[in-house]
Amino acid sequence: MAMIPKGFLFSGVRCGLKNRRNDVGIILCEDSYPAAGIFTTNQFRASSIDFSRSVLEGRSLRAVIVNSGNANCATGEQGTRDTIRMAQLTSEAFNIEGAIAVASTGIIGQPLDMTKLAKGIAASPKKLGLDPKPFMEAILTTDLVEKWSSLAFGSQNVINPKNPGVEKSEASIYGVCKGSGMIAPNMATMLGFVITDLDLSHLNIQKLLKTACDKSFNRLTVDGDTSTNDMVLLIASGKSGKKPTFDEALDAITRVCVDLAKQIARDGEGATKLLEVRVTGTENPLLIARTIADSPLVKTAMFGCDPNWGRIIAAAGRAGVSLDVSIAKLNIIANGEEFLLFSNGTPTAFEPNRVSTALKAEHVIIDLCFDPAGDTETIYSCDFGYGYVRINAEYHT
Amino acid sequence: MAMIPKGFLFSGVRCGLKNRRNDVGIILCEDSYPAAGIFTTNQFRASSIDFSRSVLEGRSLRAVIVNSGNANCATGEQGTRDTIRMAQLTSEAFNIEGAIAVASTGIIGQPLDMTKLAKGIAASPKKLGLDPKPFMEAILTTDLVEKWSSLAFGSQNVINPKNPGVEKSEASIYGVCKGSGMIAPNMATMLGFVITDLDLSHLNIQKLLKTACDKSFNRLTVDGDTSTNDMVLLIASGKSGKKPTFDEALDAITRVCVDLAKQIARDGEGATKLLEVRVTGTENPLLIARTIADSPLVKTAMFGCDPNWGRIIAAAGRAGVSLDVSIAKLNIIANGEEFLLFSNGTPTAFEPNRVSTALKAEHVIIDLCFDPAGDTETIYSCDFGYGYVRINAEYHT
């Protein structure tokens, strides 16, 4: 069970935009709370992105309305009017004032069915409750699993679907997200909603969320594509009365966001495992990590459980970063074992079969070090197999 | 039949570095001729790259020796000595002086079997002849087809394996290349050798080759990975006595290189079709074209013959280039038909089934225009299907 921060209610209903599962979800704040948002940098954006960004200029939110099944993107003027209407209908249904953010995910280039959506919003107040599960279901598209993470403030250990313990806490952070499944006929929208009852009113929470996202969701790659509808929101009710420092809040929120990002990578399209690519040293370890994590050759090798150090080193070499291969050390960490595959410019005498067996694990770390004293940067990715091709080639628009 | 420029002889023999087909190929020039080379920018390079680059500082070549089956990369000091030895053995076998370039392609991280290779080189003089076919076979690795292209100087139309006519010519350009097949356990080395009997002694042929490569091989993407061993060489015998201007020579050599680049894309791993991505307008059409051409979502859609305009527009939108989607026009050209899929910010009312049928063609052009008055840039790519995963995941090192 997650620890749900005080001050928030949730609803999720099915209005028929998707074939199954809830498709309209609302997070209702008891009052207007400080909030921040991070939005896709794609030049081709859904109207919900521009709308919610402008709503957040007021730096607070009273509610969030999300629909799945239709991204309301490439839908012209009508799409913009529909986004605004979603916020208005939510305001009327719950009889609330204050800023309302809108997020949409699903098929693009098709008009939103506002008749269905209006019915769904109107039915939402009756479903309002403390359990976020109906909301969580309402934001999913082709995700195979629900993704949530929560943390008792002051704890180091996240609670999530694979580790569903309970911790007592004065204050907590709870995050839910969707992503990695393809949306017919389009791309993998990532939506993330992080709520907390920490009092962050004294902090720059936009900077807080941006910094946390840069270490988590912005370190995530399934196929290198950035969606038109990506959005992460943070809302802080302050109900716990706990006022952390910026660094304390950043640490806690980043832990939840990193955990969510890993869950998305693990549920990547057709993925069989989470790949964590760590690079240490050189003037741009992040760019090298990203190049390795995006390489189809590396990702297919990991799918095939093949300890193919050459592909990893070659991807590093083409990242556009000056580096000295003769001092590189490459380790693969999987299934509790660590294997040195390449050291000082030459391959080591490792046992391919043993490494291959370890690579069957659900979590594989590729650790490439050019200088142990340098900075370490991490990218979260997944392997690349037949499932990815099946999902993305066999679907027809 | 290709038109083979005067002044060159070829050999190809099998010494056992590969399981089948020739694996040692030599181009012998009748004399030392002006030459230029373009080399991989990967920071992790084979010793043949550094060796041949330094050989070409003299701006002429007497011969080129190529082996396939072993890339002689990540092989340390011994690898460097073996590269130098390959040049020496070639010099001895043919009793020639002058600069000799070395190229290698194949498995990486394994020492070259110099005993086999020395026998292969020693056997080469007896096989020397005017037919480049044995050489062409000797440079292949997992390529499915041989790739060559030739042009009669002054003609617009290349002669190649799909269009094997004969043209009379005073002077000609002939190019041969390999690439796109994965090399166990590693990456797709691209080797290209372009020879001509034009007299280019009055021109800056390094600049000529660089400019031609920038419009051809550097516009090519199979999976975005750049190999450790990539090399393109140009040698001009001058035997025709024909002295073109820089622009005439550039036009002819570029035609041959573009044709070779398309052949490589078409033979991409698991590819079923050549994708030509053209972008017109904006401040960086090349970057947008490259982003679309590298997108796994676009490439899988093309494999599935799915007219998925959303993925194309979304890839353009994330290229990091400022653009206005509301003026974009997206056409798909395939099978002799042109389809407008997206215009002025919204999808058109095209017939998906008709487009899907046309997309079964072996050559598909994606044409995205932001401003008809702007520059057009082109990238050559291929689709992405089960074959890619099979080739790259099921091979074990």
Residue B397 banded pLDDT, cuts 50, 70, 90: low
Is B217 in CB contact (< 8 Å) with chain A? Answer: no
Task: Say whether residue B346 is in contact with chain A using an 8 A CB cutoff.
Answer: yes
The residue-averaged pLDDT of B326-336 equals: 95
Give chain B positions within 8 Å (CB) of A74: 310, 313, 342, 345-347
β-partners of residue B380 are B220, B276
CA A322 to each of CA A219, A319, B298, B340: distance values in angstroms, whole numbers, following the listed order? 21, 9, 31, 43
Total residues belonging to chain A: 397
Residue B93, both tokens: 């076998």
- Least confident stretch, A109-123, A170-184, B23-37: A170-184
Chain B (119-158) residues lying within 8 Å, Cβ to Cβ, of chain A: none
What residue of B is the nearest CA neighbor of A385? B389
Averaged confidence pLDDT in chain A: 91
Task: Enter the pTM of the model.
Answer: 0.86
Is B46's pLDDT higher than 50?
yes
Query: Which of A228-237, B65-74, B92-101, B168-177 shows the highest mean pLDDT?
Result: B92-101
Active-site annotation of A, residues:
189
DSSP-assigned states of every residue in B185-206:
TS----EEEEEE-S--TTS-HH
Chain A from 278 to 307: CB within 8 A of any B CB: 294-297, 300-301, 303-304, 306-307
Top residue of B381, B392, B394 to mutate, by most chain A CBs within 10 Å, is B392
* Per-residue pLDDT at B183 exceeds 50: no
The answer to whether residue B177 scores a pLDDT higher than 60 is yes
Read off φ and ψ for residue B350, nearest 5 degrees: -80, 165
In the residue annotation, B189 being an active-site residue is answered as: yes
* Residues 6 or more apart whose Cβ sits within 8 Å of residue B100: B55, B61, B62, B63, B64, B65, B87, B90, B91
Q: Phi/psi of residue B255, each to 5°?
A: -60, -45
B107's enclosing H/E stretch is: strand B100-107
Tell me which of A96-105, A286-295, B224-233 is least confident. B224-233
Task: Report whether pLDDT(A297) > 90.
Answer: no
Helix H, strand E, coil C: the string for A199-232 is: CCCCCCHHHHHHHHHHCCHHHECCCCCCCCCCEE
Average pLDDT over residues A249-273: 92
Output B211 or A141, whichever has higher pLDDT. B211
Q: CB-side exposure of A233: number of CA atoms within 13 Å?
A: 30
Q: What ipTM was predicted for this assembly?
A: 0.81
Residue A63 near residue A97, CB atoms below 8 Å: no
Q: Compute how many other C-beta atoms are within 10 angstroms of the C-beta atom of residue B300.
A: 28
Backbone angles phi, psi at B138, to 5 degrees: -70, -20
Of A125-129, A369-373, B117-121, B314-318, give the lowest mean pLDDT range: B314-318
Indicate the average pLDDT of chain B. Answer: 91
Coil, strand, or helix at residue B149?
strand
Q: Which two tokens stand for residue B106?
A: 């194949």
Among candidate residues B40, B75, B142, B189, the one labeled active-site is B189
CB A64 within 8 A of CB A20: no
Query: How far is residue B332's CA from residue B302's CA, in Å, rounded to a whole number?
Result: 11
Chain B nearest-CA distance from A157, in A, is 35
Establish if A75 touches chain B: CB-CB under 8 angstroms: yes
User: What per-residue confidence (pLDDT) applies to B41?
Assistant: 83
Task: Dig out the tokens for B213 from the structure.
Answer: 């490569």
For residue A183, pLDDT beyond 50:
no
Does the pLDDT at position B392 exceed 50? yes
Contacts of residue B381 in chain A, CB cutoff 8 Å? none
Contact B265, B277 (CB under 8 A): no
| pLDDT at position A182 | 44
Asked if residue A378 has pLDDT above 60, the reply is: yes
Which chain B positions have a beta carbon within 8 Å of A42's beta carbon?
A: 314, 317-318
Sign of CA dihedral A321, A327, A332, A333: negative
